[in-house]
A and B are shown apart, each in its own frame.
Chain A
Amino acid sequence: MADFTPDEMMTIAAARALRNEDVCFVGIGAPSAACNVARLTHAPDITLIYESGTIGTAPEVLPLSIGDGELCDTAVTTVSVPEMFRYWLQGGRVTVGFLGAAQLDRFGNINTTVIGDYHKPTVRLPGGGGAPEIATSCGEIFITMKQGKRGMVDTIDFFTSLGHGSGGDDRARHGVTTKGPTLLVTDLAVWRPDPDTKEFTVVSLHPDVTREQVQDSCGWTVRFADTLEQTPPPSALELKTLRDLQERTRIAHGEAA
């Protein structure tokens, strides 16, 4: 049995996808952990941007919110929120947007708005925040989420942010010129969109994960690449970096009163 958890594998596999020269708009939660592991391992010069206006931030602990003070303390500069969304995001200066999802479909469309009907929701989720424009303005989009049939569904209840729409060139038909989702990292596998249909396809299974496990925790019929790779397990450095970061974070945020 490997000495790492599926969650750790997910975060580390997601971190590996980021490049040292990337300018990355960081979503909160799993994306934030992955982005900071990348910064603390192979991508020390990566520019991390949080929507609170903090540009080039290097937090010692993971922020609970997108606007914790440490993001500002360690940033190269902090701009207003209108400037963030106008000059930096809409201006096309962000190479990667890293998002999580409550509900995801096979084309990388994300729902974080409602479960059920919008006007009479079964569950009212927080909503999109920055995601609708992050999804269309960043050069490309990485998505990370744990697999599950409630999260990875055939049809999402609401289009919070556009992925590849109905597939193929649907994204371009919406007037969007950026690449959209190019990577999905789950706790079980690495997925890439098919070049033509844009459907997410499993290209790499994490260590000891089977095809059946991937299919059993996904709400659509999963496509697997012809040559399926195995994700390299976390290195000792990657694991230590992630665990140290999470331990510092746990201590810093304190226990709930």
Chain B
Amino acid sequence: MAKFQTLAEAVAENLKDGDTAAFEGFTHLIPHAAGHEAIRQGRRDLTLVRMTPDLIYDQMIGMGCASKLVFSYAGNPGVGLLRRVRDAIEKGWPNPVEIEEHSHAAMANAYEAGAAGLPCAVFRGYRGAGLAEVNPNIRSITCPFTGETLAAVPAIRPDVAFIHAQKANRRGDVLIEGIVGVQKEAVLAARRSVVTVEEIVADFDDVHPNACVLPHWTVTSIVEIPGGAHPSYAHGYYPRDNAFYLAWDKIATDRDGFLAWMKTNVIDSGPDAFAGRVVALNGKG
């Protein structure tokens, strides 16, 4: 049963040092507020799972939260590289981070397998791809019916999944609209889940019968944080802050500049600041 909590409570109860955690949202609905709370609470030694680490893991890894990263595309989408992730992988700053690298198809299949309660995902992939030679978790399986060789990767089963969504109702059901990514799979694959939402409404009386809804009994904790996906976006609320994604490339360039930005905007700030960050964006999307 979903509990309605503050972000500090939800993160403290559901994310422990050493956990495997997935903060998902494919470009859209990235749970940045939750990532910031994990940084403020000083979580360490996390295995962070995410298809596109994006700015959220650039920040968490740069602040020393992680010892391992499982991912499929570690770039600042449309801008370039993730400078803090690079610094950790290339130079071990602020601490060495082990990587387990996949393709998008593999990660998507692995989340789905996790949600489906399967031990592994089977798909037609990685043919002629170098990752199969450097990642021991990429293996193959022979179809018992056709003899075709298919790729196999372990299911993703996080200790906890964090996602951001548009709405929860008072029962704790969660509505996700727009680019739905892998969030439903991530929540159903995880032991625990924390969902931050733009708003809590009385009920979903106007949604389409096929809408993407997570029933309240699949969610551990719900937190209302308007703007909580910024600089990612919430379809129907505010657009992606592309200017910030461009600006981040400079902020994250050097360690001192990064740490100064994190102190001002994360360590000395809190979840209530997110609403203000999207005010200027409203009406643009």
Contact = CB atoms under 8 A, between A and B. Distances in A.
Interface of A: 28-29, 51-54, 63-72, 78-82, 84-86, 89-90, 113, 118-119, 121-133, 135-137, 158-162, 165, 171, 174-176, 252-257
B182 A127 contact: no
A132 B105 contact: yes
B181 A53 contact: yes
B283 to A, nearest CB: 13
B79 A128 contact: no
A78 B179 contact: yes
A133 to B, nearest CB: 4
A104 B109 CA distance: 28
A69 B233 contact: yes
Nearest to A128: B103
- Chain B interface size, as a band, is 35 or more
B127 A174 contact: yes
Contacts, number: 197
A79 B185 CA distance: 13
B285 interface: yes
B52 interface: yes
A67 B179 contact: yes
Nearest to B29: A67
Interface string B133-154: 0100000000000001100000
B128 A118 contact: no
Contacts of B246: 64, 253, 256
A133 B129 CA distance: 9
A85 B78 contact: no
B141 to A, nearest CB: 14
Contacts of B131: 113, 128, 132, 160
B123 A28 contact: no
Closest 5 CB pairs of A and B: A67-B27, A162-B128, A126-B75, A65-B77, A129-B73
What does DSSP make chain A's interface, helix, strand, loop or mixed? loop
Most buried by B among A29, A64, A80: A80
A159 B181 CA distance: 27
B274 interface: no
A83 B26 CA distance: 13
A124 B79 contact: no
Contacts of B233: 69
Contact of B123 (A86, A128, A255): A86
Contacts of A131: 103
B28 A80 contact: no
B86 A128 contact: no
A84 B78 contact: no
Contacts of B184: 80
Interface in B164-220: 178-182, 184-185, 212
Interface stretch (B32-40, B42-50, B237-245, B252-260): B237-245
Contact of A129 (B52, B82, B123, B249): B52
A126 B73 CA distance: 5
B130 A52 contact: no
B138 to A, nearest CB: 10
B27 A65 contact: yes
Contacts of A175: 127, 148-149
A162 B127 CA distance: 7
